[in-house]
């Protein structure tokens, strides 16, 4: 029986994991470029330096928020790969699309950092997060349909992963809607949701999220 290239391409999960680690590392490093040291010519005393540092607060906030975002999605991505028994060409390209969206996060973060009080900048940032979640969800659904998940863990893994993605995206959407009131209110809710997923506090209600 003749074997076609598409049947054997993209089956190495280890290589996909290595590529994702590299892209996440670069994207997370690029975020720091939004932080600029105060210009020395404008600083003549401790008070002015402190004032300049305070002005960096929005930049530090968006940096922290996106670092958390990428950390959460890296964990989710690696969790999926760890539970896949194998890959195929289509699954590999789905994850490459996911990684493409990861490379866009420094741009959406820079846009939000520059126009932090503008709703459209926050919506662009949220849409980047939404697409990341949607592709990760699509990856899971495709892997289930194609029989690429370890059968011993299929049901529990699917339910836990789908619930986590859906609830997280609902929280991000809710936070974004608050930009009607203030973009800072939106950012506060998004960061709190992210801290819940990152820290995973032992609170019964939050453990369900």
The pTM for the full model equals 0.84
Q: Which residues of 67-101 are buried (b: 16+ CB within 10 A; e: fewer)?
A: bbbbebbbebbeebbebbeebbebbbebbeebbeb
Torsion of CA 163, 166, 170, 173, to 10 degrees: 150
The tokens describing 95, both together, are 């994850």
Confidence at residue 154, expressed as pLDDT on a 0 to 100 scale: 62
Confidence at residue 124, expressed as pLDDT on a 0 to 100 scale: 96
Query: What residue segments make up the domains of the chain, in order of their start?
Result: 5-207
Helices assigned H by DSSP within the chain = 5-8, 13-30, 46-55, 57-83, 89-114, 119-146, 154-177, 183-199, 204-207
Confidence at residue 83, expressed as pLDDT on a 0 to 100 scale: 82
Cβ atoms within 10 A of the Cβ of 138, count? Answer: 13
Question: Tens place of pLDDT for every residue, the chain, 209 residues?
Answer: 444 444 444 556 888 888 999 999 999 999 988 877 777 667 767 877 787 778 878 888 899 999 999 999 999 999 888 888 787 888 999 999 999 999 999 999 999 999 999 999 999 999 999 999 999 999 988 988 878 777 766 677 778 888 889 999 999 999 999 999 999 999 999 999 899 888 866 555 555 55
């Amino acid at each position: 029986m003749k074997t076609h290239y598409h049947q054997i391409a993209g089956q190495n999960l280890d290589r996909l994991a290595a590529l994702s680690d590299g892209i996440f590392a670069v994207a997370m490093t690029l975020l720091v470029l939004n932080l600029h040291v105060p210009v020395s010519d404008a600083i003549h005393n401790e008070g002015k330096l402190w004032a300049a540092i305070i002005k960096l607060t929005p930049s530090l906030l968006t940096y922290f928020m996106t670092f958390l975002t990428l950390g959460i999605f890296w964990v989710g991505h690696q969790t999926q790969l760890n539970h896949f028994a194998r890959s195929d060409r289509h699954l590999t390209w789905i994850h490459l699309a996911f990684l493409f969206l990861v490379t866009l996060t420094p741009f959406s973060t820079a846009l939000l950092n520059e126009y932090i009080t503008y709703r459209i900048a926050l919506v662009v940032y949220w849409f980047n997060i939404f697409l990341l979640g949607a592709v990760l969800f699509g990856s899971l659904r495709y892997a289930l349909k194609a029989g690429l998940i370890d059968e011993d863990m299929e049901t529990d893994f699917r339910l836990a992963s789908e619930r986590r993605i859906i609830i997280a995206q609902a929280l991000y959407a809710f936070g974004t809607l608050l930009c009607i009131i203030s973009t800072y209110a939106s950012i506060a809710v998004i960061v709190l949701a992210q801290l819940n997923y990152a820290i995973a506090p032992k609170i019964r209600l939050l453990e369900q999220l």
